[in-house]
């Protein structure tokens, strides 16, 4: 059984007098430990699929199972609890809280769990060490470079040890050097730590770090490329 199973997955919404369908009857299996890149033009359904898998959006129809659990049948509170355990989300623009230090930003997801202060400290320290920012734990986002901010965002995504990491254009706002460092770090999370990683990107160089690339167009899978 695949870790992620999508069957006839569809997402539609109303916009004015029209019905927009960014994702249409998509079938997809993702095995545990896969590093998958999603590519395609704007509006092709990449981010929609990412958000459905992350449990922050709900499909209009179809089935979405992750680790054997049907997300479409879960209550909002159950889905929130599931998401805190299974999903780490890396955003293109980092989404760090500017008034919190790097340590405090990384600690945020742990506040949803029943960890002691000492346990939180251990996990945050380890996450910052993994991304090479142990010496920047007391710095605020404004005191960090763009690449360092993205590394804090990665530490925040991995601190609760999720099964799946989703990344939406993780290098889109970075220069070439910082983008390369970010992708090498994500590759390491996949190869050394066994994380299942699903990434949206427009950049073929970024997609080349993945084991598998799927191309979407008009909400449907149109091509599959093995790295």
Check residue 146 and give its pLDDT.
93
CA distances from 165 to 116, 135, 187 (A): 24, 24, 11
Q: Domain range holding 168?
A: 4-226
The number of folded domains in the chain is 1
Q: Is 222 left (phi over 0), alpha (psi -120 to 50) or beta?
A: alpha
Q: What CATH number corresponds to the domain at position 83?
A: 3.40.50.300
Check residue 43 and give its pLDDT.
85
Check residue 225 and give its pLDDT.
53
Per-residue pLDDT tens listing for the chain (227 residues):
899 999 999 999 888 889 989 999 999 999 999 999 999 988 889 999 999 999 999 999 999 999 999 999 999 899 999 999 999 999 988 999 999 999 999 999 999 899 999 999 999 999 999 999 999 999 999 999 999 999 999 999 999 999 999 999 999 989 999 999 999 999 999 999 999 999 999 999 999 999 999 999 988 988 655 55
Q: Tell me 109's DSSP state.
A: G
Check residue 42 and give its pLDDT.
87
Check residue 59 and give its pLDDT.
95
Check residue 112 and give its pLDDT.
87
What size, in residues, is the chain?
A: 227
Instruction: Tell me the HSE value of 144 on the side-chain side, using a 13 A CA sphere.
Output: 28
Check residue 189 and give its pLDDT.
95
Instruction: Tell me the HSE value of 98 on the side-chain side, using a 13 A CA sphere.
Output: 2
Dihedral angle, C-alpha 70, 75, 81, 84, nearest 10 °: 60
Q: What is the DSSP string of 113-150?
A: S---HHHHHHHHHHHHHHTT-GGGTT--GGGS-HHHHH
CA nearest 35: which of 197, 191, 201?
Answer: 197
pTM of structure: 0.91
């Amino acid at each position: 059984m695949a870790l992620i199973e999508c069957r006839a997955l569809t997402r539609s919404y109303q916009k004015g007098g029209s019905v927009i369908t960014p994702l249409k009857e998509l079938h997809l299996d993702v095995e545990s430990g896969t590093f998958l890149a999603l590519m395609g033009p704007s509006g092709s359904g990449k981010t929609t699929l990412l958000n459905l898998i992350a449990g922050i959006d709900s499909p209009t129809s179809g089935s979405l199972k992750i680790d054997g659990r049907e997300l479409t049948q879960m209550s909002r509170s159950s889905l929130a609890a599931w998401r805190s355990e299974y999903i780490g989300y890396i955003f293109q623009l980092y989404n760090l809280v500017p008034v919190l230090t790097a340590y405090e930003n990384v600690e945020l997801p742990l506040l949803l769990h029943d960890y002691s202060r000492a346990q939180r400290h251990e996990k945050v320290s380890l996450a910052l060490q993994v991304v090479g920012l142990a010496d920047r734990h007391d710095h605020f986002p404004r005191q960090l470079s763009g690449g360092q901010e993205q590394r804090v965002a990665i530490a925040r995504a991995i601190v609760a040890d999720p099964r799946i990491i989703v990344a939406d254009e993780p290098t889109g706002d970075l220069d070439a050097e910082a983008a390369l460092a970010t992708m090498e770090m994500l590759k390491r999370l996949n190869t050394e730590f066994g994380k299942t990683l699903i990434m949206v990107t427009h950049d073929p160089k970024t997609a080349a770090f993945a084991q598998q690339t799927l191309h979407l167009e008009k909400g449907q899978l149109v091509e599959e490329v093995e790295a």
